[in-house]
Structure 1
C-alpha cells in the first residue's frame, strides 16, 4: 500500500455515463482509441483487464449478447439504457504525490494497488455484467472505463434499479470509496458537486490533471458543502411534510367515507325506528284529506274522511271522531273525539275494525315487509314505554338466611377451604356470607356504593364443590354453584379491601373469578406479608370478582394505576384475562403455580404445617438431648 507523501487530500472519484444503444459504438471508439483522442500519448498502451483483447470485437455485440442471455418480460424501449459506462480514477496527488502536476507520470506501486482494489470492486459489485474494462494510461491521469450491462437479479434490463435517484448514486460512490479507502483515498465532500453524473469533473482530472475543487479554498469547499447540506435538509423536510400531508389527506378521506357510511346507517336505523307516515296509511285505508273546515284549521290537524270515519292526524298521533257525534253536512257539530292514539297499527285496527294480526297482514300487503316492520317496531316501542310507566324495575331479593345451616357452611369454609375462622366470622358478622335453606354459602354481591345487587351461591353438600368454567355445579345433585335468580351481574361484585389506611384511595385491584378465589388469594397475600415489618402492605388493594369482560366496573378500573388479572392457570383463565386486558390496557396477567388459588393456598398451608412439625420435632429432640445430659451429670 502506498504511503501518503503529499499534504493535499487524495479523493476516490467515480462517475457513470448512461448509454443508449445508439451511443455504444461511439463510446467504444473513444475508449479503444479507434478514433483520434486529444491529449492522448500514442506511445502509451492502455490495458484491457476485463474482456477479450480482440480489437475487432464490437462492444455493442457484447452488450446485446449479455442481454440475450435472459428472456426480457417486456419489450425493450428504443430509448432504453443498454449499457452504463463507469468512469473511475483518483486525484492526481494519489498517483504522483511528489508532484501532482507532472502530467502522465505515476508511481507504479500506487497504480497497481489502485487497479487491484478497483478490479476487485467491479467483480464483487457487478460480476459478469461488466463486459469490458480498460485502464487508460495515455492521458494526464490514469483512469478506468468499465462497461456495465444493467441487468437486475432477475436478468431484466433496468438501469434505474441501480442509478436512478440521488440516494442510489450516493450508495454507488460510497461503495467504490469503501473498496479503495485502504489506499488512503478519501470520499469527496458530500454535497459539494452539483450532480453525481457530471462527467466534466472526471475529464478535468483525466485531461488537465487538475483535482476536484482545486480552485477552491478549504473554507469555500466547506461553505459550498454546508449550502448543499442546508438545501438537502430543506428539500428533505419539504418531502417529509408533503408525505405527511398526503397521509393526513388519505386519512381524512377515509374518515369522511366512514362518517358517510355511519350517517347512512343511522338514517336507515332512524327510518326503522320511526313509524309509517299516517297520511299514507290513511290514504291506503280509503280516506281522503279534507282541511276545508274551520275546526281543522283551528286544531292544526289534518282531517281525513271516509265513510263514517273522521280522522285527525297530527304527526305520529291520530284521533277519531266518536261514531255517534252529530254531523252538520260534512263537518262535526262538536269537537268531542276519542283520545289520541299513536301509530299506524292502531289506526288500521280502528278504521278496518280488525285485530292486531289482521292489521299486520294488511300493512304487509300495502307497504311491504320493510314498511310493516317499521310500523310494528314503532307500535312495540310505544307499548313498552306505556308498560314502563306503570311497571317498576324488579328489585333483587337475597335468599332467605337459614341459621340452622350456618355451622355446616362454616365448617365447609374453614375445614375444606381452609379459610381462617376469624375471617369467616367477620364476613358473617358483616352480612357478606351466610347459609340458606339448601346449605349453600351465600356471598352477597354489592355495587361500589354498598347496595346489594345479587348473590353468588356456593354449594357445600357435594363431595367435590369445584367451580366449573360456566359457573355450574357438577357434583352431587343436592349442591349448586352459580348466581342467585335476579342477580344483576353487571352491577354487583364480591369484594374486599386490605392494606394502607381504610380512608386511602385504592391503588391496586386484583380481579378473580369467584368469591372463594377472592378469599383464597387474599389469604395468600396475608401469609406472604407475615415476614414483612408491619405485616400490612402500604398501598390500598381491592380484591373483587369479575368473571367476564361484561362485568368489568368501567367507572372504577380505568383510573386504577395497577390492575391484576389473577384467573385460573388454564385456557379459560387466559381467555378472561385477554378480554379484560382489551378494556384495561394497564392490566397484567398473574397465574397461580397450581391450577387455581385454592390449591395454591392449600399447598402453602401444607408447607407451613410441615415446617411447624419439623420445628416441633427439633424442639423435642433438643429437649431429649438436654434430659439425657442431665441424667449423665447426675450419674457422675
Structure 2
C-alpha cells in the first residue's frame, strides 16, 4: 500500500473512542488527558499513554484492547458498530500498515537458521553419501564424528560451514531425495575437511566435492566454497598462503571453475590449478574410479570361479 493510500484512510480519533467507552475528559486538560477504568491516559494524535500502567500504544483498535479489555476481533467489531463498517475497515487497514512499518523500521531481517541435527534422519544421509555419491564410509563417519556433517529434520545432508577459527557460522544443505534441494543457511563460511599437516590447501566448489577429494587424496586440507563468495575465498586463500600452505585451485572443470581459479590467482599468483581427470567435478572422478575398480574385480572373480570348478 503506497503512502497516498495510507494517508487517505480515515483514522478514527482516539477521543471519540474514549467517549464511546465511557471515559471522561480531565477538567484540567480536557483535550489531551482522560480518566478511564484502566488509568489516566494522555492522547496525542493517534498515540496514547497510560500513566498509571506505564504503557502506551497507537490507534483506535489498540486503545480499545487496552482500555475496554476487548480482544482484537471484538475491538474491530466495536468500531464497526459505533462508527460504521467502512470506518472500521479503514481503521483496521491504517493500524495494520502502521504496525508493519514499525516492525520494518525496528527489526533487522533475520538470518536463515542453521538446521538442528536430527539423529533419526542420519541413516538416510549416510546411505545417500555412501551409496549414491560413492564416498567411502570411513570418510563419511569421520565427518559426522567431527561435527562437520549431520542430518536435518527433512533428511537433508547438512555440512557445517566454518570460519578459519573453526567456528560453525553457516551450513550447506544437500537434499537426499529424487529431486534434491541445494542451498546455504546462516552466514558465509567454508566446509573444511582433511589433513592440515601436509601444508596443502585445496579449494573446491561443494562440500561433496571436498569429501570426494579427501577420499582420493587423504593428505590435504580441503575447503569448499559454496557458502563463501569472492571476498571470503580470496581472504582465506591469502591467509593460508601467508601461513605457508601450498594453494591449489581444485575447482570444477568448467567455465565457472576457471573463474573461481582466476579469483584465487589474483591474490595468490603461485596457486596451482588442478582439475578432475574424469568428469566435471571430484565426485564424478571418485565415482568413475570406483566403477573402474569394480570392473577390474569382476574378471578376477570369474577366473576364481572357473578354477574352483576345475578343481572339483
Aligned to 1:605: 290
Aligned to 2:183: 482
Residues 139 and 215 in structure 2, CA contact (< 8 A), matched pair in contact too: no
Superposed counterparts of 1:117-128, under 5 Å: none
CA separation of 1:408 and 1:561: change in aligned 2, threshold 3 A: closer
Aligned to 1:515: 207
- Classify the secondary structure of the residue corresponding to 2:200: strand
Q: Flag the structure with larger Rg.
A: 1
Shift of 1:602: 0.8
- Listed as ranges, the gaps of 5+ residues in structure 1 are 1-390, 464-475, 527-536, 628-636
| 1:124-160 C-alpha deviation (Å, 9 max, x unpaired) | xxxxxxxxxxxxxxxxxxxxxxxxxxxxxxxxxxxxx
What is the aligned counterpart of 2:308 among 609, 623, 631? Answer: 623
Shift of 1:601: 0.8
1:584 counterpart = 2:268: yes
Shift of 1:429: 2.3
* Root mean square deviation of aligned Cα: 2.6
Please report the TM-score for the alignment, with normalisation by the length of structure 2: 0.59
Aligned to 2:173: 457
Shift of 1:508: 0.9
1:496 counterpart = 2:177: no
Aligned to 1:542: 221
Superposed counterparts of 1:338-357, under 5 Å: none
What is the aligned counterpart of 2:147 among 408, 431, 452? Answer: 431
1:569 counterpart = 2:240: no
- Listed as ranges, the gaps of 5+ residues in structure 2 are 1-106
- Classify the secondary structure of the residue corresponding to 1:608: helix
- Distance in 1 between residues matched to 2:225 and 2:116, nearest whole Å: 25
CA separation of 1:480 and 1:393: change in aligned 2, threshold 3 A: closer
Please report the TM-score for the alignment, with normalisation by the length of structure 1: 0.30
Aligned to 1:595: 280
Residues 458 and 481 in structure 1, CA contact (< 8 A), matched pair in contact too: yes
Aligned to 2:24: none
- Classify the secondary structure of the residue corresponding to 2:160: strand
Residues 405 and 437 in structure 1, CA contact (< 8 A), matched pair in contact too: yes
| 1:218-272 C-alpha deviation (Å, 9 max, x unpaired) | xxxxxxxxxxxxxxxxxxxxxxxxxxxxxxxxxxxxxxxxxxxxxxxxxxxxxxx
Superposed counterparts of 1:164-183, under 5 Å: none
Superposed counterparts of 1:300-315, under 5 Å: none
Task: Report the number of matched residues.
Answer: 201
Superposed counterparts of 1:258-297, under 5 Å: none
- Classify the secondary structure of the residue corresponding to 2:294: helix
- Distance in 2 between residues matched to 1:481 and 1:396, nearest whole Å: 14
- Classify the secondary structure of the residue corresponding to 1:550: helix
- Classify the secondary structure of the residue corresponding to 1:604: helix
